[in-house]
Amino acid sequence: MLIKIQIITGAISILLLYFTFEMIRKEKIREEYSILWFFTGLATLLFCFFPDFFLSKFLVRITGLYYLSAVVVIVFCFLLLIVLHFSVVISQLTDKNKEIAQRFAILELEFKEWKEKNVPG
């Protein structure tokens, strides 16, 4: 049973690491965002190599959760972090976007007034 999980998580983590790396290489993702994905990939990879440590010692001791449910919890925590991180990023982008739109509108009016004054015809 455990070997199946090991193979699945191993494959997932390798794929994840590969895609993250590829996206950085093609400049489709900024390094700062890739860090979380890298850590997610690494954590899954570590789990795939040492499932016993994670499942029966480390996690059980700190959380009291066993086996599959523990895996779900790990994955869920990482996804939660990533989604939270994205909310922060989106909020910042929205603010900056608003700022640009406002400045743009004001500059446009200023420019139009300047042109009317200084450019004949």
Partner 1 sequence: MANGRKCLVIIPAFNEEGSIEQVVENVRNHLPQSDIVVINDGSKDRTSEKALSCGAKVLDLPFNLGIGGAMQTGYKYAHMKGYDVAIQVDGDGQHDPKEIEKLVNALEEQNLDMVIGSRFVERSEYRVSKARRIGIVILSRVISMIVGYEVTDPTSGFRAVNRKVIELFSSNYPQDYPEPEAIVFLHRYGLSIGEVPVGMSARSTGESSITWSRSIYYMVKVLLAIFVDCFKKGPLPKK
The binding site for partner 1 (CB under 8 A) comprises 98, 101-106, 108-109
Q: How far is the CB of 95 from partner 1 (least distance, A)?
A: 10
CB nearer to partner 1: give 3 or 88.
Answer: 88
CB nearer to partner 1: give 69 or 102.
Answer: 102
Q: Which of 98, 89, 81 is nearest to 30 (CA)?
A: 89
Cα gap 19→41, rounded to integer Å? 10
Q: How far is the CB of 120 from partner 1 (least distance, A)?
A: 21
Q: What is the 3-state secondary structure (H, E, C) of 39-52?
A: HHHHHHHHHHHCHH
Cα gap 113→50, rounded to integer Å? 69
CB nearer to partner 1: give 18 or 111.
Answer: 111
Cα gap 2→53, rounded to integer Å? 12
Q: How far is the CB of 104 from partner 1 (least distance, A)?
A: 6
Q: How far is the CB of 98 from partner 1 (least distance, A)?
A: 5
